[in-house]
Amino acid sequence: MTSITMLGAGFIGQMHALSIRSCENSRHILNQKPRLLRLIEREEAKKSATQTAARFGFEELRLEPWQDLVKSDDCDLFVNAGPNPVHADASIAFAQAGKHVFCEKPLAGSANEAHRAWAGVHSTGVKHMCAFVHRFIPAIKQMRRMILAGDIGEVLHYRSQFLLDMRDPSGALSWRFSEPGGGAAGDLGSHHIDVARFLVGEIEEISAFTRTSSKDPEGKLKHITDDSFVAVATLANGAVATFDASRIVGGHALTGRIEVDGTKGSISFDMERLNELRLSVNRGGWRTFLITGPDHPYADFYLPVGIQGAHPVSWRDCFAYQMHHMLQAVQQGSNVAELGATFEDGYRVAEIVEAVIAASEERAVKKVKYRNHSDRSA
């Protein structure tokens, strides 16, 4: 059995519990069954956490501070599904206690904090993953295969839009509106920045504008994170990129568009059309094709592929693929990179997000500087 302790039973904690349960039922058989050993939550969230623990079958719910549980914890894998301020310290502490670590994005609210998380976890030798789930969307994986195969020629341009209305109808502001990394750049942009790195290559320079119009109805918050941002970047391979994200978008429930142009063709993905890609080669016009053929990497994840064909995947399935990749790494010693994002990827994205905020504040073009894990310069 691979025993799992999870911190946080909110939106994404429930998704990860569901994913772990789904991995149990996958045809991609794991060496050991995953076991939902322990859920750590706050006393304030006792009622909903009790329901979540019962719904997914956690063996215990613990409401004391995670710091009191690290040493005695007998888990193999720690899943950090708490809000951003809990990511670094809890991940480092569990890794230092010998647990493999899976942590939500953004890895931290600042580049220094993310670097501390990466360095602290890396030094222990445990497996680590930062949950950039887009890497596990079969269409994105297919896009990467096609780009690497040269189907669109030399890559010149990456374009992304991530628009998701995150306002609470009551007007109340969630922790995202005040905690570092919770703004449009850290929360939404980080996903598409990681996809750019995954599909095209590392970001070298970036310039950006951010905007904040949200107001704290109680007038208590000193700082409100960015509601939206637009950025332009250059990549190591000479390509250019644009990023555009907002959490205040009247008409968009969830728009997530990613396009890559090359010398020969262009390829396009839209989150609301999760099972499709669009390709245009040599100005031949856009052709839409399904990514659900028998050769997609998870076509037989739940059911055999055969005369009954391959079926569409959902956003929820992508989380199961991601968790399965982590469980395989834990059980078989396989690499999290490069199909999965590691804490190094989480750190690098944090450097880029910080450069976005700084570029906007300083009205500047920022060269993104990346440190290695042993670099102590801040």
Binding part of the chain for ligand NAD, among 35-43, 117-125, 135-143, 367-375 by CB under 6 A, reads 35-43
Is 10 near ligand NAD (CB under 6 A)? yes
Residue 131 and residue 13 in contact, taking contact as beta carbons nearer than 8 Å: no
Q: Which of 361, 117, 147 is nearest to 266 (CA)?
A: 147
Strand duo 203-211 + 265-270: pairing: unpaired
In the bound state with ligand NAD, the residue whose beta carbon lies nearer, of 7 and 95, is: 7
Stretch that binds ligand NAD, among 11-19, 206-214, 342-350, 361-369 (CB under 6 A): 11-19
Q: How far is CA 291 from CA 27, 88, 338, in A?
A: 20, 36, 21
Q: Of the candidates 6, 12, 129, 146, which one interacts with ligand NAD according to CB under 6 A? A: 12
Give the full edge-to-edge strand order of the sheet including 100-103: 60-62, 34-40, 2-7, 77-80, 100-103, 128-130
Q: Which class for 223: exposed (0-12), middle (13-18), buried (19 or more C-beta within 10 A)?
A: exposed
**Which of residues 13, 34, 189, 265 is near ligand NAD by CB under 6 A?**
13
Asked if residue 4 binds ligand NAD (CB under 6 A), the reply is: no
Size of the site for ligand NAD (CB under 6 A): 22
Interface pattern 144-183 for ligand NAD (x via CB under 6 A) = ----------------------------------------
Nearest distance in Å: CB 176, ligand NAD: 7
Site string for ligand NAD, 55-84 (x = CB under 6 A): -----------x--------------xxxx
CA-nearest of 183, 142, 187 to 318 is 142
Say how far apart CA 185 and CA 258 lie, in whole Å: 16
| Cα distances (Å, whole numbers) of residue 35 to 6, 25, 55, 62, 97 | 11, 13, 14, 16, 19
Closest residue to ligand NAD, based on beta-carbon distance: 10
Instruction: Provide Rg for the chain, Cα atoms.
Output: 20
- Specify the residue for token string 């809890």: 90
Residue 193 interacts with ligand NAD (CB under 6 A): yes or no? no
Cis link prior to 44 (omega < 30° from 0)?
no
Chain positions 241 to 280 lying near ligand NAD, rule: CB under 6 A, are none
Burial of residue 153 (CB within 10 Å: 0-12, 13-18, 19+) is middle
| Nearest approach, Cβ of residue 208 and ligand NAD (Å) | 20
CB of 139 to ligand NAD, least distance (A): 16
By CB under 6 A, which span of 3-11, 223-231, 276-284, 349-357 interacts with ligand NAD? 3-11
CA atoms within 13 A on the CB side of 373: 14
Among the listed residues 131, 152, 258, 277, the single contact to ligand NAD using CB under 6 A: 131
Q: How far is the CB of 260 from ligand NAD (least distance, A)?
A: 21
Contact stretch for ligand NAD (CB under 6 A) within 37-45, 336-344, 354-362, 369-377: 37-45
What phi and psi values does residue 239 have, to the nearest 5 degrees? Answer: -70, 160
Q: Which residues bind ligand NAD (CB under 6 A)?
A: 7-13, 40-42, 45, 66, 81-84, 86, 104-105, 131, 133, 187
